[in-house]
Every structure is written in structure tokens, then in C-alpha cells.
Amino acid sequence: MRLTVEDIGKSFPGVTALDGVSFEIRPGEIHALMGENGAGKSTLIKIITGLYRPDRGRLLVDGVPADFHSPRDAIAAGISAVHQERNLIPRFTVGENILLERLPRRHGLVDYGRVHREARRFLDMIDPSIDTRTEVRRLSVAQMQIVEIAKALSLEAGVLLLDEPTASITGHEADALFAVLRRLKAEGKAIVFVSHKLEEVTAISDRVTVLRDGKVAAAGEPIASMSRGRIVSAMIGREERVAEIGERDLRDRTAVLEARGVATALGHRDIGFTLRKGEILGLYGLVGAGRTELARALIGDVRITAGEVRVNGRPVAIASVPEAIRRHRIGYISEDRKAEGLILAHPVRSNVAITVWRRIASALGLVGRGAERRIVEPLVRKLDLKTPSIEQGVGKLSGGNQQKVSIAKWLAAGVEILIIDEPTVGIDIKTKTAIHELIAEITRDGVSVLLISSDMPEMITLADRILVMRDFALVGEIENSRRYEPMSRRIMSFIHQGAEGAAENEPNGPEAAHG
Amino acid sequence: MTLGQRLIANEWSAIAVAIVIGVVGLAATSPAFLTEFNLYVMMRSFCVVLVVAFAQMLTLAVGQLNLSIGALGGLVAIAIGGMMEVLGFPIAVALPIGLAIGALGGLINGLLTVRTGINGFIITLATASAFTGINLGITESIPFYNLPSAFVAFGTARLSAFPMLLIPPVIVALLLALFLARTVPGRQLLAVGGNPHAAQLSGVHMNGIVVLAHTLSGLLAAVGAILAVAQLGSAQPTIGQDWLIMSFAAPIIGGAALTGGHVSVAATALAVVLIVLIQNGMVLAQVDPYWVQFLLGALILAAVGLNRLRAVRAGEA
């Protein structure tokens, strides 16, 4: 089957997700689709699978225009997909999930014998160890991913789209998947493969299309002609700009936030660090290392069981988030902006002013629009927040501008210490630089920042010093030289050494790491 | 697992234990409890409640709810009463039309929900008021008493110790269990309730399934109405007024997930047995019937709490 995408455009309020994208998937090829987060890959896949309808342009299946109104239409046309989000019914068995929309029946009733036999056939292609009679909610994340893949394979579709299929499975399982994909390719199937892992892409694909900011940056280039460097530069664009912070010597600044021997109810132990005034202190670690949880302990959301926290030199025991904000001027920006940071349906004005309502309320307890505007509007200008007006619903802003609203909110509150968790996840590369410059700028105004990030370049660009966390303990502290190669090597070595330290049960891990 | 953990993990064992305790307690304290007449009365009241509970269970299964069950039941009750008494329709004509009215009411609920995208809570709250309005507009609150004798006789007939009235609900329960466990629309209904997004991406016709659930819910409300008319021997406009709380209580006590995707026919039926037992026990103890309302409320809270506990144990919370 041949799938052609012609001049597709799709906009959401406030964002142009796709702008004139064309590409073609031929029978018997594996076509890699690459791009940064927010480049438009997922939107494109959702259009091809009938979940979104394009504003303009068209899809052709074997040269015939196709108009998909729902995923049903796409499936009927022979297009099947593994989406990034988990799409299984937790209480159903593996077998039933795989054959969900076309359960085989006999005498009008579901034929479970056949369900499990057929599901078995597709599951065996990747992992024969999963029982088709297990309920999906009892599986591990990796097993669920395999079930998703088996489900997509079971449609025996002419076009197979895989959106980051290897994100949560082991190398062994990925190899089995690749063997299946090569076989399907030999059978003449057309396969679209989305991945961030360059090694995978170069190993398995025939051609690559790169999206950048909703446009095609490289169109169906043969993989042999594309070096990794060329793929990366197509993804990030030639005009890549990196925020320049410049080296700063902050050693004689006063300490605003100190932790000594802190342990928490979640299992942190012996956490010690100092955040100085106007400093960006990085907290690096792998996902699950306990960084977000430490942040929550510092703002009084997780119980601290031992040790001492000092704010501006005075020992404190912060019991709640409001206390952290009002008495100690510590704010926290969650990594999950949409779920935890912002009220999407509310306008920019109230999202920013929410932190100051109590302060600006009149004697009768009323909050005036004018008072809100006087606080919000200067911040909107200062942060270069792109919004038609401060009455715009935050949900309609782009990810980068939403993040600016989060920062504005805390600046309005007059925080002196700001903990920022993964500030640029899901934000395109240009806005990312703007956010970086903004963070640097607020520190020049005297705000101290504890920056949590899993993004190594971001960490090395922004942080003055970097703490490395592993398994709920600090395993290293490094002055940032802002030279990428040596810094990333040192950080990674702490993460690996931390593993050995843990294995040897060394109680004084952090101190050992200093040496 | 200890016995206690097992009881918490299993949806219907806790209800069964409560029923056994209730039966033993009532038999020991009230000589009237185990008489044939009392058991017959209990079985008769079981019938309507069971079907009404199933009507709600279907909307819960797809992740919706139906506040119009009682109103629709009342409308169907007076419709069949009117058709048989005033228009002189034979039973074999009036009852199918009554069922069709129920299904149509449910269809309207379903279509309004998926077409407008408005929460089913508001939609069915509004249609409930509309259905009640039609009911009272037609009857002016006057019941239909002169029903065909064969129909009234069915409501009181017995098969040795069992009321004949028990036959339709038992058939409904068996069909419903088969529907949910073994038919494609039934499985799709639970799939949509379990993860609407996933079901849709798998090519399940989501809106169609939601409409189906509401339609079947309306149909079962009509079955409940017919049974209620047969049980009372007259078509009262007030039929259905007390259905709402029980319709939620039974499926929830029976472990239905309020988010959809998981219901149990057997556990819901056991929950209805428990509810009937409580009502009967209070009658025997000559407690003011208003306190039954209170107890049902408490029971729902306890059941929701238990379900939550199960979810936390299973690591789903």
C-alpha cells in the first residue's frame, strides 16, 4: 500500500501544528519520521489515523483520496498504529485487547477460544511469554507496550505506524520487533517509524522525513545519504541559538536555602546542599531518582523526617505549601503544567493573579480587575508572553507561553526561591531558548532557582552548579564549566559511580563523591 | 491471603456474608421472617428493584449515568395502563409498545448525550423532568385501575412458593450476563467504559455504544415499570419515584466502577437481595420506613469506600 500526504495543514488555537506537510510512504519500506517534541509528528500521525481532520491538504491511499472521519475509517482503509499513549482496556484480557474491535464470534457470541488462539499468533512474533488470558492491568509497562504492538500487527494492515514503539521495552524485545518489521517490509507493507533514538532509526529505516516547527525539514531522504549530524541539524535547524548565561562567580553570595542531613518520608537520606542568592542550582538525575519528590519536601508537601532546612539562615519547618509561599517565599513550578500548574480554562489574568489575590483584596475581601491587571500586565510585557490579551484562556496558548504564565505567577507572588521542574518538556526549541534566557534573567533580579531537569544540554547551559541525584540520595556536586563534553561525562560518571556506591552500601556516598 | 483480605478482594463475597448475617439475625429475632408469606413478599419486591438496578448498571458500565430511570418508568407505567384501560389494547400490543417507549426514551438520552457532548448527568436530569411532566400531564395524577385480569393475575400468581413475577427478572439477568460477557456489543460497551480513548482508537464506534447503553437502560426501565404495574395491580403515576437511590445503590454495592468499564450482574443481584432484606427487616422491626432511605445512603457510602479500598490495594489509585 502507498500512502501519500499532500500539503497537510492543521492549526489549533494559538499554534500552527502542521504547515504544508507532504510526504509519501511506499510499499516495502520503513520510513522514519523524526523531529523535536512539538515538531508536529504526533499531529501528523493523528491525522493519518483519522483522529484529527486536517484543515487543508489531503491523504491518498494508493493514489485515491481518502477522507477519514474517525479511527474506524482509517482502520478500514488498512492503516494501523501504535500510539504513544497507552491504549488498552485495563480490565480486559490481553487477547481481548488485541482483537478488540473485531472479536471473532460463533453463533453470535464471542468465541474466546479463537480470540486467544489468534492473539497468540501475533504475540508470539515478539514475546511468547505473555499469557493472552492475563488481564492487562496486571502487566508491566513493557509488556503492555508489547501488547499494543501485537494489537497493531494483528490488523495485518497495509500501512503500519509506530509512534515511539521502543520507548519502554528492552533491547531484546526491540530486536524482535525490528525482525518483525523487516519481515513485514519484505511482504510489501509500508511502515512509518517514529523514534528519538538515532541508532534505531539508522539501523532499521530506508528513508527519513524530518519535521521542524510543523514543516518538512528533510523529505524522504535515503537514510544512506543522511549522516546522523545531518539528521540532527535538520531537526534543530541551522539557526540554533543557545542561551548565553556566561560564567558567574557566586561563591561569596549569601545562602538562601540550605539543607543539612535531610531525610524524607519518601526515602531521601542525608541530603545536603546550599542554594545561594541569585544562583541557578541544577539538580540532575535520571527519571525516578527522587528529584521532584525532594522539591515537594522542600515546599512542605512531603514530610521531612530528619535533618535541617534553613531559609535565609534560619532553621524552618515548613508544614504546607501556602506556608512555603507566604512565609518563606518559595515557589514550585510542576513538570506537569497542564495537570498541576495551570487552570487551563481560566484566563492569563487569573492564572497569574491567583497567588496574590489575598494580598490585593480590598478590605471587604473583593479582588478588583484593575488591581489584577496592574500586576499582570507588566509581567506579561517583561516576560514577552505572546497572548492576544490577558483575558485569553491559558489552554489556548502554546506550551512555551504557558510556561511563561507559570513563571509570571510566581514572580507576581514575589518569590525569592523558585523550584522549576523540567521547565522545557514539550516546548519547541526556539521557545526553549527564550525560557532559558528568562530563567537566567530572573536570577539576575535576585531570585534563586533550583532547576530540576533531565535535559543535559539545558542543565549545562543554565546551572551555575549541578547536584547529581540517584536513588533518593545526592551522589555528586559539580561547578559547571559550561563546556558540554567534559561536563556531561562527569555528570554521567557520578550517576554510574553512584550505582557502585549503592551496591557497596557506603553510607557516606555524597562526601565520597566530593573527593 | 487471609480470609479478611479475600473478602475485601472479592466483589460479592462481602455481600453474601452480609446477607447470611442478615438472614440469621432476622430469623432469630422475628418469627414472621421465615414464613412462606414473608418470603413471597420479599421475592416480589426483589423483581422490580433488580431490573431497575440493571438499568442503571448499564449506563455505569459505559461510564455514564441515568437520572431519568424512575421518570421513564413512571411514564411507561401509565402508558401501558392507559393503553389497556382507556384504549382497550390487548396485553400483547400494550406491553411491546411500553417497551418501545422505554427504549425510545433511552435513545433520546443517548443521542442528546453524544450529539451535544453535554454530560449525561444534566441531560438525564432534564429528560427526567420532561418524562415526569408528560406522565402527570396525561394522568393528572390519577392512576389506571381497570387493567386486564390476566395481567393482574400474573402479578399475584405463584409457582409453588415462588411468584411468577420472578420469571422476567431472572431471564433479564441471564441475558444481561450473556450480553456483557459474550457478545461483541456487550464487550465494546465495557471497553468504552474502561478506556474510551483506547476503544475509539481501536475502531470501536464509541458514540454508537454510548447510545446503545442508554437505549438498553431505557428498555430495562420499561421492563421494571411493567413489573411494577403487575405487582401493584394498577398503573400508578407515582411508579418510579423511589427508584433512583436503589438503582445506584445496588450496582455500586455490587462493585461497579463509577468511572465505567466494570460491572457485575451477579454481585448487583446479590446487592438487591441485601437491599430487599434490609427493607423487610425494617418493616418487621416496625421501623419508620423513612429510615430505610437513611440506611441505603449509609450503605452506598460504605460500598464506595470499600471499592476505593480495593482499588488502593490493587495499586490502581
What pLDDT score does B8 carry? 58
Share of chain A above pLDDT 70, in %: 92
Give the pLDDT mean for B17-28.
Answer: 91
Residue A498 has pLDDT above 80, yes or no: no
Any CB–CB contact under 8 A between A92 and chain B?
A: yes
Determine whether the interchain pair A110/B199 forms a contact, defined as Cβ–Cβ distance below 8 Å.
no
Residues of chain A with CATH 3.40.50.300: 3-236, 243-329+415-515
Q: Looking at per-residue confidence, does B54 or A251 come out higher?
A: B54
Give the list of residues 6+ apart from residue A195 with CB closer than 8 angstroms, or none: A32, A34, A164, A165, A166, A201
Interface test with B, best of A100, A105, A161 (most B CBs within 10 A): A100
- CB-CB under 8 Å, B182 with A101: no
Per residue in A166-188, pLDDT tens? 877 777 888 888 998 999 999 99
Please give the domain boundaries of chain B with CATH numbers for all domains.
Answer: 35-310 (1.10.3470)
What pLDDT does B91 receive?
94
Taking the Cβ of residue B190 and every Cβ of chain A, the question of whether any pair is shorter than 8 Å is answered with yes
| pLDDT beyond 60 at A241 | no
Q: By the 8 A CB rule, do A257 and A330 touch?
A: yes
> Taking residues A472-482, what's their average pLDDT?
89
Amino acid letter at B72?
L
Confidence at A501, pLDDT banded by 50, 70, 90: very low
Q: Which of A83, A96, A103 sits opposite B201 (nearest CB)?
A: A83
pLDDT at residue B53 in the model: 97
Chain B residue numbers touching A85 (CB-CB < 8 A):
197
- Over 50: is that where the pLDDT of A190 sits? yes
**Rounded average pLDDT over A453-470:** 88
- Between chains, do B178 and A75 touch, taking CB under 8 Å as contact? no
Q: Which residue in the set A91, A105, A108 is minimally distant from B262, CB to CB?
A: A91
A105–B184 CB contact, under 8 Å:
yes
Mutation site, A45, A101, A138, A139, interface B, largest B CB count within 10 A: A101
How does pLDDT run across A370-427, given as a tens digit for each residue?
Answer: 888 888 998 898 888 888 888 888 888 877 888 889 888 888 888 899 999 988 876 7
Instruction: Say which of B183, B188, B194 has its CB closest to residue A90.
Output: B194
pTM attached to this predicted model: 0.72
Q: Which residues of A touch B183 (CB under 8 A)?
A: 105, 108-110
Q: Which residue of A has its CA nearest to B316?
A: A137
**Average pLDDT for residues A209-231, to the nearest whole number?**
86
B202: chain A residues, CB-CB within 8 Å: 71, 75, 87, 100-101, 151
Q: Map A85-153 to HEC letters.
A: CCCCCCCCEHHHHHCHHHCCEECCEECHHHHHHHHHHHHHCCCCCCCCCCEHHHCCHHHHHHHHHHHHH
Segment 150-189 of chain A within 8 Å of chain B by CB = 151
Distance (Å) from the alpha carbon of A75 to chain B's nearest alpha carbon: 7
Test B183 with A110 for CB contact under 8 angstroms: yes
Torsion sign over Cα B96, B100, B102, B106: positive
Nearest to B253 by CA among B271, B269, B266: B271
Task: State yes or no: pLDDT of A135 exceeds 50.
Answer: yes
Please state the rounded mean pLDDT for residues A450-470.
Answer: 89
Q: Does residue A33 or residue B161 have the better pLDDT? A: A33
Average pLDDT for chain A: 85
Residues of B in contact with A81 (CB under 8 A): 201
Annotate chain B with DSSP letters as a single string. --HHHHHHHSTTHHHHHHHHHHHHHHHHH-TTTTSHHHHHHHHHHHHHHHHHHHHHHHHHHTT---TTHHHHHHHHHHHHHHHHHTS---HHHHHHHHHHHHHHHHHHHHHHHHHH---HHHHHHHHHHHHHHHHHHHHTTPPB----HHHHHHHH-EETTEEGGGHHHHHHHHHHHHHHHHSHHHHHHHHHHH-HHHHHHTT--HHHHHHHHHHHHHHHHHHHHHHHHHHHTSB-TTTTTTHHHHHHHHHHHTT--TTSS---HHHHHHHHHHHHHHHHHHHHTT--THHHHHHHHHHHHHHHHHHHHHHHHTT--
Distance from CA of B201 to the nearest CA of A (A): 6
Please provide the CATH number assigned to the domain covering A243-329+415-515.
Answer: 3.40.50.300
- Once rounded to an integer, what is the mean pLDDT over residues B174-198? 89
Interval A414-442: pLDDT, tens = 889 999 998 887 676 667 788 888 899 89
Residues B39-46, mean pLDDT to the nearest whole number: 92
- Is domain A3-236 given the CATH code 3.40.50.300 in the classification? yes
DSSP A387: -
> How far is CA A468 from its chain centroid?
20
